[in-house]
């Protein structure tokens, strides 16, 4: 039964802001008090246990507006996103655009959705605004597309070697997200992609080099959180602690085991997280991985007290918000029932629970743990305090609503598009030009663009073949990720009648048919430019005299590629990773490779 709700104490926003300004602009080296802590503690005194526990959860909701009835919300026993917020007092909601949880149409729709959710939170429970979050990393992890600005992948940014570019990208991303009402971005990915066969990180990582990754992570954290006026910033999240870069298994579908020694972990995986903490990152996301050298218990890192408290809290002195990766992923559900997982996470030192499969089950589990004495209310207060302080420091409490009419001239502006295109232009990396084909100074009459695409890519179609063909004035024959014999035959026949062939690849290591297509095209004797349109490891699996990597297949990446091929710009990208041979016994293209002219 809910306890009687006392009268609310709400810190007047103007007083709070004035106090904050006075403290932060003071010349005193040690402020007398922290207004964020003052607000959090005062608010906690007037919250019920149920409201506190609700603040720990960031929920999935179904629909594209706060009051839309969607049958998928019945998993929570309600009909609309508003009812999810009001019934469970959740502290946050996450937006997704995959086929099963499609919240995203366009920026204006998202701004309206965000305002509706915030009004639902403000009119019920503890009257505390929500964290509205998203995964808008760039590259293949993009939830909001045009007319919003789209971004190259983190590895493409790493290829530029420019921390200024990283900060600028994050600043633009933050400003646009905040205009849509989104105040937390689960980025930057802070993993060091040291394993070329990593199935889930890849180009989401800035680099395979800890120093380069650290510099880029620090730059993006500053861009997200300090790159503009407070209402134009978002909370960033360094992910996935203690480091997902050496995984050979996808934690969405399995339980990766990382065999690093403690010394290797400290040398390779730890530095970007230390850099993020030094930069003042608002939150750190956990990894559903097992690292026996750090905790031999077999528990996933998300539920490991030696990792979350021993390393992250005690050793690294991190007192910001720790958020789980999705609690619907296989990597965290194999050992424990859903009801037990958030309790174990809290015992480990975690604060926010992301995307629990069933809010009723997971919230009930935490409440029962408190009532039984397994968890204390003081432990709940610890995490809620961190969450409330994050909301205070990010300005969410002062101005949770956005101007929906302003979205059109704040999101996807010509200047933002120009700046991001410039970053993309600096990322294209030429790995091999043995035939002297590049740059193509005289545009051929007949150009074929063929190879990888994925029209069924979750949330949006991936159609780089068509995009590039339009940019170069060529013919498009997309063959997908696993071309059939008929598709290969069609592409080869077209190549025989062409003067230049550009073939896009994505994941040759696991696609014999893509590799066959590339080899058949080379065998025609026509000039062939092979392009690794995502992970840069494809050149190890097909011997082509001309190889380029773009690290991303989005429109701006294809535009940059066209400019490099035809000499409109010189390639400036440098490999952020080592590209090994197919058998992984030696380095084929070392870190730093990048031809230019």
Alpha carbon separation from 548 to 35, 139, 427, 432 (Å, rounded): 52, 17, 11, 7
pLDDT tens digits for 164-219?
999 999 999 999 999 999 999 999 999 999 999 988 899 999 999 999 999 999 99
User: What does the pLDDT read at residue 15?
Assistant: 38
pLDDT at 4 > cutoff 80: no
Residues 509, 547: one domain?
yes
Residues 389, 437: one domain?
no
Average confidence (pLDDT) over 326-353: 94
pLDDT tens digits for 462-480?
899 999 999 999 999 999 9
Q: Return the half-sphere exposure (C-beta side, CA atoms, 13 A cut-off) of residue 13.
A: 10
Specify whether the CB–CB gap between 190 and 137 falls below 8 A. no
**What distance in Å separates the CA atoms of residue 130 and residue 118, rounded to the nearest whole number?**
6
Average confidence (pLDDT) over 552-573: 97
pLDDT tens digits for 22-77?
344 344 455 567 899 999 999 999 999 999 999 999 999 999 999 999 999 999 99
User: What does the pLDDT read at residue 226?
Assistant: 96
The answer to whether residue 1 sits within a structural domain is no
The answer to whether residue 422 sits within a structural domain is no
Alpha carbon separation from 161 to 139, 207, 428 (Å, rounded): 17, 10, 12
User: What does the pLDDT read at residue 252?
Assistant: 77
User: What does the pLDDT read at residue 17?
Assistant: 41
The answer to whether residue 417 sits within a structural domain is no
User: What does the pLDDT read at residue 247?
Assistant: 82
Neighbouring CB atoms inside 10 A of 291's CB total 26
Domain count, the chain: 2
User: What does the pLDDT read at residue 383?
Assistant: 98
pLDDT tens digits for 494-505?
999 999 999 999
pLDDT at 458 > cutoff 70: no
Q: Return the half-sphere exposure (C-beta side, CA atoms, 13 A cut-off) of residue 558.
A: 24
Domain final residue pick, 376, 410, 444: 410
Token couple for 558: 């294809």
- Tell me the pLDDT band of 456, cut-offs 50, 70 and 90: confident
Beta strands in 156-218 (DSSP E): 184-185
- 483 Cβ contact list (under 8 Å, min separation 6): 491, 513, 514, 516, 517
If residue 587 lies in a helix (H) or strand (E), which one and from where to where? Answer: strand 587-589
Token couple for 441: 């100074």
The answer to whether residue 596 sits within a structural domain is no
User: What does the pLDDT read at residue 459?
Assistant: 66
The bridge status of strand 321-323 relative to strand 546-549 is unpaired
Write the Ramachandran bin of 369: left for phi over 0, alpha for psi from -120 to 50, otherwise beta: alpha
Neighbouring CB atoms inside 10 A of 497's CB total 11
How many helical (H) and strand (E) elements, i.e. helices and strands, does the chain have?
21, 18
Please report which residue ranges of 445-484 form alpha helices under DSSP H. Answer: 464-472
Residue 245: which domain range?
A: 13-410
β-partners of residue 528 are 501
The answer to whether residue 177 sits within a structural domain is yes
Q: What is the pTM of this model?
A: 0.93
User: What does the pLDDT read at residue 22?
Assistant: 35
Which strands, in side-by-side order, build the sheet including 283-286? 321-323, 283-286, 235-241, 184-185, 131-134, 92-94, 57-60, 353-354
Q: Is 129 exposed, middle or buried (0-12, 13-18, 19+ CB in 10 A)?
A: buried
User: What does the pLDDT read at residue 532?
Assistant: 98
**What distance in Å separates the CA atoms of residue 206 and residue 153, rounded to the nearest whole number?**
8
Residue identified by tokens 């919240």 is 103
Residues 318, 461: one domain?
no
Q: For residue 7, what is the DSSP state?
A: P
- 523 Cβ contact list (under 8 Å, min separation 6): none
The answer to whether residue 539 sits within a structural domain is yes
Q: DSSP states of 217-251 as a string?
A: HHHHHHHHHHSS-GGG--EEEEEEET--TT-SS-T
Average confidence (pLDDT) over 362-371: 98
Residues 451, 403: one domain?
no
User: What does the pLDDT read at residue 249?
Assistant: 77
Q: What is the CATH number of the domain that holds 331?
A: 3.20.20.300
User: What does the pLDDT read at residue 98?
Assistant: 79
Please report which residue ranges of 310-376 form alpha helices under DSSP H. Answer: 330-333, 341-348, 359-372
Q: What is the CATH number of the domain that holds 512?
A: 3.40.50.1700
pLDDT tens digits for 247-271?
877 777 778 899 999 999 999 999 9
Average confidence (pLDDT) over 234-249: 92
Residues 238, 103: one domain?
yes
Token couple for 321: 């918000």
- 297 Cβ contact list (under 8 Å, min separation 6): 304, 306
User: What does the pLDDT read at residue 55?
Assistant: 98
Of the listed ranges 132-141, 452-461, 574-583, the one predicted with least confidence: 452-461
Residues 494, 346: one domain?
no
The answer to whether residue 46 sits within a structural domain is yes
* Chain mean pLDDT for the chain: 93
Residues 463, 392: one domain?
no
Q: So which residues are the catalytic ones?
A: 325
Residues 223, 253: one domain?
yes
- Tell me the pLDDT band of 529, cut-offs 50, 70 and 90: very high
Residues 369, 452: one domain?
no
Residues 376, 248: one domain?
yes
Closest CA to 342 of 388, 302, 313, 391: 302
User: What does the pLDDT read at residue 254?
Assistant: 79
User: What does the pLDDT read at residue 8?
Assistant: 35
pLDDT at 369 > cutoff 90: yes
The answer to whether residue 423 sits within a structural domain is no
CA 543 to chain centre: 33
Average confidence (pLDDT) over 411-438: 98
pLDDT tens digits for 387-418?
999 999 999 998 899 999 999 999 999 999 99
Closest CA to 116 of 404, 420, 525, 475: 404
Q: For residue 149, what is the DSSP state?
A: P
Q: For residue 395, what is the DSSP state?
A: T
Q: Calculate ∠ Cα 75-390-319, nearest 5°.
A: 105
Residues 315, 437: one domain?
no
pLDDT at 7 > cutoff 70: no
Alpha carbon separation from 380 to 8, 42, 303, 346, 347 (Å, rounded): 19, 15, 16, 8, 10
Closest CA to 234 of 171, 191, 284, 279: 171
Residues 464, 578: one domain?
yes
């Amino acid at each position: 039964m809910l306890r009687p709700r006392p009268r609310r104490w709400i810190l007047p926003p103007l007083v709070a802001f004035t106090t904050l300004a006075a403290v932060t602009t003071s010349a005193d080296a040690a402020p007398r008090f922290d207004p964020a802590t003052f607000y959090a503690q005062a608010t906690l005194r007037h919250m019920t246990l149920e409201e506190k526990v609700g603040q720990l959860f960031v929920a999935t909701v179904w629909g594209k507006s706060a009051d839309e009835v969607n049958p998928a919300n019945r998993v929570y026993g309600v009909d609309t996103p508003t009812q999810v917020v009001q019934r469970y007092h959740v502290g946050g909601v996450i937006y997704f655009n995959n086929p099963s949880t499609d919240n995203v149409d366009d920026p204006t729709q998202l701004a309206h959705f965000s305002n509706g959710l915030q009004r639902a939170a403000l009119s019920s429970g503890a009257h505390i605004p929500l964290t509205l979050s998203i995964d808008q990393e760039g590259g293949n992890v993009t939830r909001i597309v045009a007319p919003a600005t789209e971004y190259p992948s983190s590895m493409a940014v790493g290829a530029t070697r420019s921390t200024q570019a990283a900060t600028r990208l994050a600043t633009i991303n933050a400003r646009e997200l905040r205009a849509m009402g989104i105040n937390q971005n689960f980025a930057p990915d802070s993993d060091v992609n040291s394993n070329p066969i990593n199935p889930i990180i890849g180009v989401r990582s800035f680099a395979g080099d800890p120093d380069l990754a650290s510099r880029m992570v620090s730059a993006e954290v500053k861009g997200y959180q300090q790159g503009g006026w407070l209402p134009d910033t978002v909370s960033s999240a360094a992910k996935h602690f203690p480091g997902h870069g050496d995984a050979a298994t996808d934690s969405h579908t399995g339980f990766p085991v990382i065999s690093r020694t403690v010394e290797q972990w400290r040398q390779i995986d730890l530095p970007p997280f230390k850099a993020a903490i030094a930069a003042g990152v608002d939150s750190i996301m956990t990894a559903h991985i097992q690292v026996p050298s750090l905790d031999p218990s077999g528990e996933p890192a998300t539920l490991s007290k030696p990792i979350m408290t021993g390393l992250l809290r005690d050793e690294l002195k991190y007192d910001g918000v720790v958020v789980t990766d999705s609690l619907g992923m296989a990597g965290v559900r194999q050992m424990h029932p859903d009801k037990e997982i958030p309790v174990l996470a809290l015992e480990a030192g975690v604060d926010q629970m992301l995307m629990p499969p069933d809010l009723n089950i997971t919230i009930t589990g935490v409440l029962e743990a408190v009532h039984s004495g397994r968890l204390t209310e003081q432990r709940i207060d610890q995490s809620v305090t961190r969450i409330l302080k994050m909301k205070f420091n990010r300005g969410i409490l002062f101005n949770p609503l956005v101007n929906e009419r302003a979205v059109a001239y704040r999101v996807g502006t010509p200047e933002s598009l120009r700046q991001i295109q410039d970053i993309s232009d600096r990322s294209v990396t030429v790995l091999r030009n043995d035939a002297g084909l590049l740059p193509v100074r005289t545009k051929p009459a007949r150009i074929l663009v063929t190879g990888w695409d994925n029209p069924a890519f979750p949330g949006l179609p991936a159609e780089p073949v068509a995009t590039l063909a339009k940019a170069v004035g060529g013919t498009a024959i997309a063959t997908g990720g696993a071309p059939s014999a008929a598709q290969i035959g069609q592409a080869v026949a077209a190549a025989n009648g062409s003067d230049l062939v550009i073939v896009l690849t994505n994941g040759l290591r696991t696609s014999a048919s893509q590799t066959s297509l590339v080899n058949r095209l080379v065998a025609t004797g026509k000039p062939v430019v092979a392009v690794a349109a995502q992970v840069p490891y494809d050149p190890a699996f097909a011997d082509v005299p001309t190889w380029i990597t773009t690290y991303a297949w989005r429109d701006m990446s294809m535009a940059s590629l066209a400019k490099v091929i035809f000499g409109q710009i010189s390639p400036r990208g440098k490999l952020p990773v080592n590209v090994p041979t197919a058998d992984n016994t030696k380095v084929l293209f070392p870190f730093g490779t990048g031809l230019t002219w």
